[in-house]
Structure 1
Amino acid sequence: MAITNKTVTIAATSLVVGLVVLGLKTLAWWLTGSVALYSDALESIVNVVTAVVALVAVRLAQRPADASLPYGYHKAEYFSAVIVGVMIIVAAILILREAYFGFLSPELPEAPLEGLAISAGATVINVIWAQVLIRHGRKARSPAIEADGKHLLTDVVSTVGVLVGLVLVFLTGFAQLDAILAALVAVNILWSGWGVIRDSVGGLMDVAVPPDTQKTIREVISVNAEGALEAHDIRTRQAGKMTFIDFHLVVPGAMSVDAAHTICDRIEAKLRDAVDDVQITIHVEPEEKAKHAGIVVL
């Protein structure tokens, strides 16, 4: 529960941070008139929208399972991440449009030092906050929070490229370089948006847990299924922070229901110790159903 509450707090704080950074980057663009800084500010608008969507998704994902959604609301975060990816791509298209017109009618930016300093300050904030989001998103297994952090890192890379490029604009007087930088930012954002959507679709398609977690699950079942004969048809999937495990457990035909139930209880308890936020379904079968495959009980 503590991690869950912290996730909501971080999601809300992310919205505040996004608004602050948006204000700073908008000011930098207003001072300079730079198309590249405008594109950077536009991406920050996406950051704010991302933070709002993530906050709503995180709160929705906390709702307990009910009759209409008996497996819970955990996948809400994947839908959130897909929306974020689409918003990122829309922002990239808008930036490409501005870059095109800026290339046709190039102008040298004004107030370079002030604009660069403000944008650099906003970037430092994003670097720090992106690390917080990614670390907590992975710890809490929150796709929405982690996607938000990864997008912020993309924003950081874009901004650093813009700042370096603007220095070159001022040194060389090549005004069209400003628009070229904006276009490069857009391409980087497009790649980021595709990555977010790709990862989220995997979650919506019931992707299996990582190989190291699968190995742990198999070892736990093997060691703690004493009295059974084998376990087969092991399946796993992830939905937000929840992990679902189901498998068939083969027991001797003469074993009582009570004894088989005791084995299942023991396995479930050990799996919950090894894997956080897990739901387990075990289908008990008599020995004639053995496939002589899967997990051999130690």
Structure 2
Amino acid sequence: MAAKLSNLQPQKKAILIALCVSVVLMLAKFAAYFITHSNAILTDAAESIVNVLASSFAFYSIYLATLPKDENHPYGHGKVEFFSAFIEGVLIAIAGVIIILKSGYDLIYPRPIVQLFEGASIIGVTGVVNLIVGYYLINTGKNHKSITLEADGRHLLTDAITSGGLVVGIILIKLTEIFWLDSVISILLGLYILFSGYKLTRRSVGGLMDESNVDLVENIIDILQKNRKDPWIDVHNLRAQQYGADLHIDCHITLPYYFDLNRVHQEISEIDKTINGNADRKTELFIHTDPCLPACCNYCHMKECPVRQEDFRAEIKWTIENATKNLKHFDQ
């Protein structure tokens, strides 16, 4: 348990840094808005409120993810990270809608804009800071398999991109003196923010609904294929669920029917060691064993099988197509 908590300290540190930076940048952006009265800058400032709320919830969700399994949560608390990402995506989308409505109103009823270069300078600095912190969060999230950190990092990258576009737009407004461009740019950035919120929400809902992660399943099947042993006749009905940084896999393995319980336990333990020794995250396995049938003989590798009824003809390579079906391979 101590090792697990120690492993999660970088996640807490990263999200705490993001939270503190978000508060400072939010204040800077609102200062830029009060200086300029620019809707486009208000767009960026409003999104910063979302950054602060999202980082606060992300910090709490990472704390929950560190809690050990208990009677009410036998799989641990890792799925709270998907919920955290969902909340962040919804907040981003709401900010996008509000920005579009406010900018649409001001496009019809414009107001004076002043000191644009000063405002652009502040927004430019905040964009660079968000870019640095965003990449830091994404890298930390990938290293520690935290969807919460990745989501918060991608949110900050979105913020950095909108800040960059905003600076370009402000300079364009100043040079052309076409002030209605302020609201148009704000609406475009609002649409981009809305789309970013949708993508993040879609990914989190997929995780909450245990949507199949094809890349993850293919990786596990590839590990089994490369390290397969003769007694492992076939693997089928393989499914994977992600709970935060942990992975849970259940599958069926066909073994020779004459193996006793000790030998079956030995083979299952070997499969567990194979996956946990090669996968890039902690994996818990639930393996159901099936006895072989005479129809398995033609693809069974057992060299000195006392009950073989048919010669070995060819190996059936394990792929996502056959390993995920609930059928022995001769039935497929």
Q: TM-score, normalised by structure 1?
A: 0.92
1:143 paired to 2:147: yes
Question: How far off its partner does 1:279 sit?
Answer: 0.7
Amino acid corresponding to residue 179 of structure 1 in structure 2: S
Farther off after superposition, 53-62 or 107-116: 107-116
Q: What does residue 179 of structure 1 align with?
A: 183
CA distance in structure 1 between the partners assigned to 2:53 and 2:284 by the alignment: 33
Question: How far off its partner does 1:230 sit?
Answer: 2.5
CA distance in structure 2 between the partners assigned to 1:289 and 1:233 by the alignment: 20
Q: What does residue 54 of structure 1 align with?
A: 58
Moved over 6 A (4+): 289-293
1:31 paired to 2:35: yes
Q: What does residue 87 of structure 2 align with?
A: 83
1:255 paired to 2:288: no
Instruction: Tell me if structure 2 keeps the 8 A contact 1:225–1:267.
Output: no
1:284 paired to 2:289: yes
Question: How far off its partner does 1:97 sit?
Answer: 2.4
Question: How far off its partner does 1:290 sit?
Answer: 7.6
CA distance in structure 1 between the partners assigned to 2:44 and 2:294 by the alignment: 61
Instruction: Please give the per-residue CA displacement for 1:181-227, whole angstroms capped at 9, x wherever unaligned.
Output: 1111111110010000011111112133443x434422443434443
Q: What does residue 201 of structure 2 align with?
A: 197
Query: For 1:218, which of 217, 221, 232 is the aligned residue?
Result: 221
Q: How does 1:63-212 map to 2 (within 5 A)?
A: 63-211=67-215
Instruction: Please give the per-residue CA displacement for 1:49-77, whole angstroms capped at 9, x wherever unaligned.
Output: 11011111111112111111111111101
Question: How far off its partner does 1:167 sit?
Answer: 1.2
Structure 2: state its 5+ residue gaps: 300-315, 317-321
Instruction: Tell me if structure 2 keeps the 8 A contact 1:107–1:176.
Output: no
Instruction: Tell me if structure 1 keeps the 8 A contact 2:79–2:243.
Output: yes
Change in CA separation of 1:233 and 1:290 when aligned onto 2, cut-off 3 Å: farther
Instruction: Tell me if structure 1 keeps the 8 A contact 2:41–2:166.
Output: yes
Instruction: Tell me if structure 2 keeps the 8 A contact 1:250–1:289.
Output: no
Instruction: Tell me if structure 1 keeps the 8 A contact 2:11–2:144.
Output: yes
Count of aligned positions: 296
CA distance in structure 2 between the partners assigned to 1:112 and 1:228 by the alignment: 69
Instruction: Please give the per-residue CA displacement for 1:9-37, whole angstroms capped at 9, x wherever unaligned.
Output: 11111100100110111111111111110
Instruction: Please give the per-residue CA displacement for 1:139-195, whole angstroms capped at 9, x wherever unaligned.
Output: 212111111111111111111111111112112221211111111111111001000
CA distance in structure 2 between the partners assigned to 1:290 and 1:40 by the alignment: 65
Q: How does 1:264-279 map to 2 (within 5 A)?
A: 264-275=268-279, 276-279=281-284
Percent identity for Structure 1 against Structure 2: 31
Question: How far off its partner does 1:110 sit?
Answer: 1.4
Change in CA separation of 1:289 and 1:132 when aligned onto 2, cut-off 3 Å: farther
Change in CA separation of 1:289 and 1:206 when aligned onto 2, cut-off 3 Å: farther
SS of the equivalent of 2:74 reads coil
Change in CA separation of 1:45 and 1:289 when aligned onto 2, cut-off 3 Å: farther
Max radius of gyration: which structure? 2
Instruction: Tell me if structure 1 keeps the 8 A contact 2:217–2:239.
Output: no
CA distance in structure 1 between the partners assigned to 2:104 and 2:222 by the alignment: 57
Instruction: Tell me if structure 2 keeps the 8 A contact 1:224–1:270.
Output: no
SS of the equivalent of 1:189 reads helix
Farther off after superposition, 38-47 or 283-292: 283-292
Amino acid corresponding to residue 284 of structure 1 in structure 2: T
Change in CA separation of 1:16 and 1:268 when aligned onto 2, cut-off 3 Å: same
Question: How far off its partner does 1:253 sit?
Answer: 2.1
Change in CA separation of 1:79 and 1:202 when aligned onto 2, cut-off 3 Å: same
Amino acid corresponding to residue 239 of structure 2 in structure 1: R
Instruction: Tell me if structure 2 keeps the 8 A contact 1:203–1:240.
Output: no
